[in-house]
């Protein structure tokens, strides 16, 4: 009974670990995910938490599974060194496969290079789709901090929001993402509203990028028209 439970739990946790790994492969960068309120069934933070706890579950039961089958694993290792041949081919092949993947990743060897490149390309696509914050963690700044950082007039923004009948008790110390959530907007959409209402346009500065460099986007700022 215990062996069955351990084996099934290991297999099921491995399956969910694969799913969370795929999701985290395509999820936008953190700044983009939080700025655009990205979600796929769960938020980026929730997927990350599930990956950590699911990975821990898999490790624990994987170790337990190894202990229960230790004799069988030892026999596999012994079989890799047959007395009549003295050539541990299966073991050497397994080691070579693992070394090829890990070393190849560090030296950008195909197909590992392509996997990393596609990941960067997906990040770039997500950034273009959901928008980039004008500065790090802009969504959790106050409206006052947001306007000061971008050189905007907070009173002008408040006036525009009141004219647009924004919900909630909005004041300079209101948190940017809270205002957006109360009005069914993403932080990016509210940022676009601010730019439009204050007659400003976003500008990307010092953007030196290679193709697929999803982790190396320049910072956004604004300029007066």
Of 109, 130, 151, the domain-final residue: 130
The secondary structure of 202-219 as a DSSP string is EEE-S----TT-TT-PPP
Same domain, 92 and 187: no
Find the domain containing 176 and state its range.
Answer: 138-224
CB 139 within 8 A of CB 37: no
Of 130, 157, 183, the domain-final residue: 130
Average pLDDT over residues 79-98: 72
Query: Residue 214: its pLDDT value, please?
Result: 44
Same domain, 147 and 89: no
Residue bearing the bigger pLDDT, 89 or 206: 89
Cα angle 135-175-220, degrees, rounded to a multiple of 5: 15
Same domain, 168 and 103: no
Same domain, 107 and 199: no
Same domain, 112 and 179: no
Same domain, 15 and 94: yes
HSE toward the beta carbon, residue 95, CA cutoff 13 A: 7
pLDDT-above-90 percentage for the chain: 48
Same domain, 147 and 126: no
Summarize pLDDT for 41-74 with one digit per residue, the tens. Answer: 998 889 999 999 999 999 999 999 888 888 877 7
Summarize pLDDT for 143-154 with one digit per residue, the tens. Answer: 999 998 888 899
Same domain, 9 and 27: yes
Residue bearing the bigger pLDDT, 58 or 213: 58
Query: Residue 130: its pLDDT value, please?
Result: 82
Same domain, 95 and 183: no
Q: Whole-angstrom Cα distance, residue 15 to residue 172? A: 47
Q: Whole-angstrom Cα distance, residue 219 to residue 209? A: 12
- As a whole number, the mean pLDDT across the chain is 83
Residue 81 pLDDT level (bands cut at 50, 70, 90): low
Same domain, 54 and 27: yes
Query: Residue 64: its pLDDT value, please?
Result: 92
Residue bearing the bigger pLDDT, 207 or 102: 102
Same domain, 81 and 101: yes
Q: What are phi and psi of 223, to 5 degrees?
A: -140, 150
Q: Provide the number of structural domains found in the chain.
A: 2
Residue 206 pLDDT level (bands cut at 50, 70, 90): very low
Same domain, 109 and 174: no
Query: Residue 216: its pLDDT value, please?
Result: 43
Of 103, 130, 157, the domain-final residue: 130
């Amino acid at each position: 009974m215990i062996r069955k439970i351990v084996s099934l739990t290991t297999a099921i946790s491995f399956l969910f670990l694969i799913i969370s790994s795929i999701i985290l492969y395509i999820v936008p960068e953190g700044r983009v995910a939080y700025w655009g309120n990205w979600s796929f069934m769960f938020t980026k933070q929730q997927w990350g938490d599930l990956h950590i706890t699911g990975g821990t579950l898999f490790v624990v039961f994987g170790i337990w599974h190894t202990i229960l089958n230790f004799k069988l694993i030892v026999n596999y290792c012994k079989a890799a060194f047959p007395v009549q041949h003295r050539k541990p081919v299966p073991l050497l092949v397994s080691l070579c496969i693992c070394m090829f993947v890990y070393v190849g990743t560090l030296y950008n060897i195909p197909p590992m290079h392509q996997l990393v490149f596609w990941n960067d390309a997906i990040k770039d696509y997500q950034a273009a789709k959901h928008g980039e914050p004008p500065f790090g963690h802009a969504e959790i700044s106050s409206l006052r901090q947001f306007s000061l950082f971008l050189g905007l007039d907070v009173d002008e923004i408040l006036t525009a929001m009141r004219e647009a009948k924004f919900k909630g008790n909005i004041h300079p110390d209101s948190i940017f993402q809270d205002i957006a959530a109360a009005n069914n907007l993403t932080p990016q959409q509210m940022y676009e509203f601010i730019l439009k209402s204050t007659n400003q346009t976003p500008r990307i500065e010092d953007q030196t990028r290679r193709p697929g460099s999803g982790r190396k986007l320049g910072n956004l700022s604004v300029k007066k028209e």
